[in-house]
Structure formats: C-alpha cells, structure tokens
Amino acid sequence: MYNIRKFEAKDIFAVIKIASDTLTEKYSPSIFNYFYETYPDLFVIAELGQKIIGFIIGTEMNSKKSKILMLSVSEEYRNKNIATSLLNKFENTIIKKGIKEIELEVKTKNKKAIKFYQKNEYTIIEEIENYYLDGESAFIMKKNF
C-alpha cells in the first residue's frame, strides 16, 4: 500500500525524475525547491515503500483561490487511484485553509487528464491558445467548494 505525505527535501531528485519522465514541459530543478519552501503544505508525494511514485504541487493564489501546478504519477503506477489520493490530499488541505476554488491548466490534447479532472468535478471554463512552450493550447479547469 502506498503512503501520501508532505514532500521533504530528500525527495527532490525522485520528484524531478518523475516530472522529467512524465510531463511534457521541462522544469528547472530550482522550481521544485521554491515550491517546497513557499507552499510546503501544497507539495505532496505518494510513496510505495521508500520509492516516490507520484506528486502534486500547488500554490495559494489568494485567500479564496488555489492553483494546481503539477500532478504526476510514474507510468507503472497509473490507474491505481494514486493521482486521486494526491488530489484528495491537496483538496483537503485547501479546504482546511478556507480556500473555495482550485484552478489548473491542462493541454487540450491530454484527454486522459481532462477526463480525470472532470471525474473529480473540475469543469472547463476557458481555452487559451498557444499556452505551452510547444505551442499547444490549454484548458483552464476549475472546481469550487
């Protein structure tokens, strides 16, 4: 059984590897440290034994709104409700802070991610053309509590 917990500094290389392997955007390693230092409650990992198998990173935009920046699970551990567990932990943390809205961006071509978020009560509110570095468009998705 996997465990969901707050990110710790020792997890950084495993998280960077998962992000590099699974996300199409490439991120500077320093950004992970920034989010750990700035929003430690909103940087959560999933681990199986001692192995990091997924993570979620978010921010507080203001006292009413939060944003999910990254959510990823290693390919071999997908379809095991790990992403749902990470999302639930993130949402519960947000709710405890009194935040009423979560927003995120997802590539319009990423049908699996869109379906996942819709299953978790997120709705598409807008499309932004050429949002990503590769020129792909994004859907803005939102959930209110």
The chain-wide mean pLDDT, for the chain, equals 96
pTM for the whole thing? Answer: 0.95
Whose CA is closest to 102, among 55, 60, 44, 137?
60
The pLDDT tens digits for 51-72 are 999 999 999 999 999 999 999 9
Per-residue pLDDT, 68: 98
Question: How far is residue 64 from each of residues 12, 21, 90, 94, 107, measured CA to CA in Å?
Answer: 29, 33, 15, 9, 25
Cα 37 from Cα 32, distance rounded (Å): 9
What is the assigned CATH class of domain 3-102? alpha beta
Coil, helix or strand for 133? Answer: coil
Scanning the structure block, which residue is given the tokens 């947000």? 94
Structural domain spans, the chain: 3-102
